[in-house]
Amino acid sequence: MTKIAIIGSEKSGKTTLAGKLGKKGNVTDITMYDFAKNDRILTTIDATGYPASVKSLVTALDLSDIALLCIPPEGLDPQAAECIIALDVMGYKHGIVVLTKSDTSYPFALDELKEKLQKVTTGTVLENWEYITISTTSFEGMEELKELIFTVGDRVDKEQRELDSLPTRTVIDQSFNVTGIGCVVLGVVMQGTLNAKDKMVAYPAKKELEIRSIQMHDVDTKSAPAGARVGLALKGVQSKDIDRGFILSEKETVATNFTLKCTLSPLARSFNVDDMLHLYVGLQSSPVRVTEITEGSEKVETAAPGKEYMLQLEGSKEIAYSKNDRFILSNLDEKQRFIAFGYEQ
């Protein structure tokens, strides 16, 4: 199973492309599209709530393994630039830069655009991503794009097989009741192997439950490996007990306050002690107040772009996480909202 996030500006043609890659399914602040042919299964996630909502973009990327950054012939705009910064801050490993609407431009102009983008992304996680030119009108490049997606997906699948033996963690993005079944959730197995009848805990609420049954792409299965998108029938909880972002696992840390070793993006604006930021880890998010900034061994009042700091953050919402989870910080009052990443100390 290959899971991709389609991101870019509102004028990039990303939503039209998503519709060409699969059948439209669930719609919230993200829209799911499904495609299945032979042994190939593709789930496409369009961050339809973006740019109004940063959370929509983070959710689409966290639920996916591969990002498709869509750039129209007009080139970068502030939204596309923010997407590049978001990908870099998130340390996003796999992706493709898709030059859209090729039928409205000329080959030499598209070559120039590619060169400009390669310069802009030098030193970022996008530096070695592949480029492809497509048109959803003339269908130029569409079959080649699908093949490229599945080629990258094969590499992702090999990496995920190394995660199958780790402690199981499944992140939930939807929860609802089904008559005669009870609580059903949709999510992704982030690591480990999930089995029917497994006993788990839903964090951060710390609700004990049992995996009653598992489906993958509407087919019943006894187990699901790392990377699988799953539908789970749960025993011992109700849908109102489970929110987007909850993690099903055996053990998570739950906290409202955090000590993060953070690296600020060189393109972020500075922030100060007492400023309010927004914290993301997985699909969870919470407003937090900066209570202390330490640079080296000295406490400072301001955190500057491109530098590393130890941050003390104070929130009011319980967040579940594990030691190696990557935290993202944003400032929703800025035009470029992604500012830093960090790890709990």
Domain ranges of the chain: 2-161, 169-249, 254-344
169-249 topology per CATH: Elongation Factor Tu (Ef-tu); domain 3 (2.40.30)
Distance CA 248, CA 195 (A): 12
3-state secondary structure of 15: helix
Strand partners, 316: none
Is-same-fold flag (169-249; 254-344)? yes
- pLDDT confidence of residue 234: 98
**Residue type at position 324:** N
Side chain identity at residue 240, one-letter code: K
Superfamily of chain region 2-161: P-loop containing nucleotide triphosphate hydrolases (3.40.50.300)
Number of H helices, E strands in the chain: 5, 25
Over residues 195-254, the pLDDT tens digits come to: 999 999 999 999 999 999 999 988 999 999 999 999 999 999 999 999 999 999 999 999
pLDDT the model gives residue 1: 84
Distance CA 128, CA 123 (A): 9
Tell me, what's the pLDDT at 123? Answer: 94
Q: Give the per-residue pLDDT at 168.
A: 98
pTM score: 0.95
Pick out the chain residues at pLDDT < 70: none
Query: What is the separation of C-alpha 293 from the centre of its chain, rounded to a whole number of angstroms?
Result: 27
Nearest to 234 by CA among 192, 172, 170, 185: 185
pLDDT at 197: 97
Q: Is 294 exposed, middle or buried, given 0-12, 13-18 or 19+ CB atoms closer than 10 A?
A: middle
Q: What's the confidence (pLDDT) of residue 259?
A: 98
> Backbone phi, then psi, for 162, in 5-degree steps?
-75, -15
How many angstroms from the chain centroid is the CA of residue 124? Answer: 17
Q: List b or e across 226-263, with b for residues whose CB sees 16 or more CB atoms inside 10 angstroms.
A: bbbbbbbbbeebebeebbbbbbbbeebeeeeebebebe
Q: Taking Cα atoms as reference points, which of 219, 222, 226, 227 lies closest to residue 211?
A: 222
Q: What is the CATH code of the structural domain delimited by 254-344?
A: 2.40.30.10
pLDDT of residue 186: 97
To which residue do tokens 């100060």 refer?
A: 272
DSSP string, 264-315: E-TTSPPEETT-EEEEEETTEEEEEEEEEEEETTEEESEEPTT-EEEEEEEE
11, 72 Cβ separation under 8 angstroms: yes
Q: Identify the three-state secondary structure at position 220.
A: strand
Query: What pLDDT score does 286 carry?
Result: 98
